[in-house]
Structure 1
Amino acid sequence: MVRLSLRVAASAMLQKRERMKLRRRRATQRTENRVAPQIRIGRAMQGSITWVAPEIPLDILIEILTRLPAKSVLRFKCVSKFWSSLLSSRYFCNRFLSVPSQPRLYMSLLDLYHNSKSLLLSSAPSTCPSSSSSLVFDQDLTIRKMGGFFLRVLRGFICSTVDLKPHIYNPTTRQLVILPAIQGYDILAAEDRYDILYFMGHDPVNDQFKLLCTITSMSNNDMQKIKSERWVLVVEAGGSWKRVAKESPPHLPNPFELNMNGFLYYLAWTHMYTCVLVSFDMRSEEFNMMVQVPRKAGDEMVPRVKKMVIQVDYGGKVAVFDYTYILKSGTVDLWVLQDGRKEEWSRKTMVLQPSQLHLLNGNHRLIPKGTTLKDKVVLVPPNLVAPFYFLCYDL
């Protein structure tokens, strides 16, 4: 009887130990199940101890994702609903655009007679140091039947004009949006010759993309009688055109713009011989500045059709790149605006290298392109007839 009692007691103790082990095992499994949905770096086994890495903080996760290619980021939207919401948010998109990356060069080849033959080409960033002097175009991003004489590139979007309508294209998602034309403007094509230009800008306070449209008409080439209207459209669902700055002086804009700190700058003509720098506030939708562009002593009065100028970003300041005499003497004047209210300018004269002057032979005119490249101005001939050259001037 005593032995049987001892055996029963020993069996009860073993069963109690097994139940305790089972409880501990179930508790460990519940803990792992709670940790499983979290983002893990790795997992290591040391005997019977399981180590689970802590969750990656959200700010570090965003920093990692912003350094990936755009195509990879788009693929990660299918990981979960949280990732899809995060990668589609405005905060992440703005952070992704603010991270420096290797610039991509876009080239629009426009067929004036057959628009269906127009092409939009894109150069693939080169990873080989020895190929830095050449360009390789990415066939996957070649877009047929799309082109424009003036391409506006801003924060990952491309704006062009086809048949007087603005087209906005996202090269990452391959999405093309055709915005409506303006209805009800006062300048009629039957009465005057008129020009329509679309400029794309960004309001950093409200995080909105906007289009500024200028409609200008002239009674004759001497610009004695000039009319102009300005319209603004917010690029969002349900956006519509509204007329702004009705009281601002009439002017004929140059077709190239500069975006800096929520302001849009462009050069314009108020008279045949008067060129001004115009500033437009994308948030208030008002014109803040019209400063006359100077000329150095000894320069003759050059009419609009022969004056070759463009505004550029020069170390965070707005500057005017005057290349009127580059074909004649190989010189360029850079006018830096020091104070817009006092109309104070400083000038630097740059000289083209003598060994490069032969590149200009046969070119009766050069037009600026690539104004979004930092500290660089690209000059190209308007018609690509072999042999032709592009000039990239590093300021």
Structure 2
Amino acid sequence: MKRRCGENSHETSSPLTTRLLHDIDIPLDLTVEILKKLPTKSLMRFRCVSKLWSSIITMRRDFIDWIVTRSLTQTPCDAHRIFNMNLRCYTQCYLSFSSTNARNTHKESVSIPRTAGQYVRGLFLCLPCKSLEAAISNPTTRQYFNLPKMKHSGKGNCFFGYDPLENQYKVLFIPKEPAEQPCQVFTLGDPMAKQWRNIQGIESQFPIRYAYREICINGVIYFITRSTDTSFEYNKLISFDIRSEKFHHIDTPKTLIKLGWFPINYQGKLGLMYCKDCVEIWVMENAEKKTQRWSKIFFYEMAGFEKWCVPGVTRGGEIVFSNSGCLYDNDVLRVFYYNPNCNSMRYVDLEDIYPKESRPKTSLFIWTIPDYVENTMCLY
């Protein structure tokens, strides 16, 4: 009797369970809301559950936007790029994440095959040493997308930007000698645009020798150019509208564009920062108008900043300081945060992420990205 009951139980439970599983039909909207409750690491694992789940997590724009927004509302997370440098060439890049609050400090690191350069909305533009074979890296999904080769070879600079209205990521290439080669643009994720496109060059509007120091804010890439006149007085601040793909000159006081100034994202506005014998920040107040107005919002005179650089400012207004020179195997890996509102300083120690005994016998560089966000977007 016992055996018969066991057999009957076994015979009826398996088909019933299978039938119940097949009968469950979860509405799409409810599925999306359930997935939104999960941490990003779990979402990355659950991509393999079904094609539907994978599509929601990595391709659905409203879901991806929600993940990015969620990152901004959580405890601020900073990404620290640690480069190995050998014979004047970056050979390896580690991306370390740190989030700090009163109760918990969480750290982790990711190895990136190439040098992680410019950062936009959770993605990195990567360039190998001595090459223009650009690639895009997404540390959240652990994906790496190689961009196609450019139509014209030659030295130059690649800039990375995002337009929130059109939901487009674009890579802009400006040749070192703009008079000889056209500027090029590549649109990430556009199935109709699988190659670089030539656009109207910057040389026809602003004669320059080369461009450098870039920041992307609200669909506009800002960068500094060196004029054909080698005098520092002729540096210019140029903007590139990602949607229209047009260049514009930004009116800037000449004293703010000399050697040593660089653009930053200051709480959603374009800022220019100087960090040498003092720390000085100016912010552009009316970016949408033809004539720009600049305001000095911070000045702190202090010696000893020559060996430091300022990668940016956090959402909370903290100024980030990292060492601008080479760090060696015995140096301390540390990033400082200064709060001008309460005149306080804190730091993040990266020693346990990259301990001295595991470092190669090469010089190191650190660059911090304030307010890093997670992005579940699929790159291919």
Quickly name the TM-score band, shorter chain normalised: 0.5 to 0.7
Which one of 71, 76, 94 corresponds to residue 65 of structure 2?
Answer: 94
Preserved contact between residue 223 and residue 239 of structure 2 (Cα < 8 Å): yes
Identical aligned residues as a percent: 22
Provide the C-alpha distance between the structure 2 equivalents of 1:166 and 1:34, rounded to a whole number of angstroms.
46
Letter in 1 for 2:144: L
Provide the C-alpha distance between the structure 2 equivalents of 1:158 and 1:372, rounded to a whole number of angstroms.
18
- C-alpha distance after superposition, 1:164-207 (max 9, x if no partner): 2212112123222222332336xx6xxxxxx5111111233332
Matched, 1:336 2:296: no
SS of residue paired to 2:251:
strand
Q: 1:230: which partner in 2?
A: 183
Matched, 1:382 2:322: no
Which one of 190, 209, 212 corresponds to residue 169 of structure 2?
Answer: 209
Provide the C-alpha distance between the structure 2 equivalents of 1:142 and 1:289, rounded to a whole number of angstroms.
38
Q: 2:223: which partner in 1?
A: 266
Superposition map of 1:79-90 within 5 A: 79-90=49-60
Q: CA deviation at 1:124?
A: 4.5
> Unaligned stretches of 5+ in structure 1?
1-28, 40-54, 189-194, 219-225, 297-301
Instruction: Give 1 or 2 for the bigger CA radius of gyration.
Output: 1
Cα pair distance change 1:108/1:250, threshold 3 Å: farther
SS of residue paired to 1:94:
helix
Provide the C-alpha distance between the structure 2 equivalents of 1:388 and 1:261, rounded to a whole number of angstroms.
32
The alignment of Structure 1 onto Structure 2 pairs a total of residues equal to 306
SS of residue paired to 2:77:
coil
Preserved contact between residue 121 and residue 137 of structure 1 (Cα < 8 Å): no
Q: 1:107: which partner in 2?
A: 81
> Unaligned stretches of 5+ in structure 2?
1-15, 341-380
SS of residue paired to 2:126:
strand
Q: CA deviation at 1:68?
A: 2.9
Letter in 2 for 1:155: R
SS of residue paired to 1:180:
coil
Q: 1:176: which partner in 2?
A: 144
SS of residue paired to 1:71:
helix
What TM-score results when the alignment is normalised by the length of structure 2?
Answer: 0.67
Preserved contact between residue 267 and residue 313 of structure 2 (Cα < 8 Å): no
Q: 1:18: which partner in 2?
A: none
SS of residue paired to 2:145:
strand
Of Structure 1 and Structure 2, the greater strand share is in: 2
Higher relative contact order (CA 8 A, sep 6+): 2
Q: 2:212: which partner in 1?
A: 255
Which one of 184, 194, 206 corresponds to residue 239 of structure 1?
Answer: 194
Provide the C-alpha distance between the structure 1 equivalents of 2:68 and 2:282, rounded to a whole number of angstroms.
29
Q: CA deviation at 1:229?
A: 4.1
Which one of 166, 171, 174 corresponds to residue 134 of structure 2?
Answer: 166
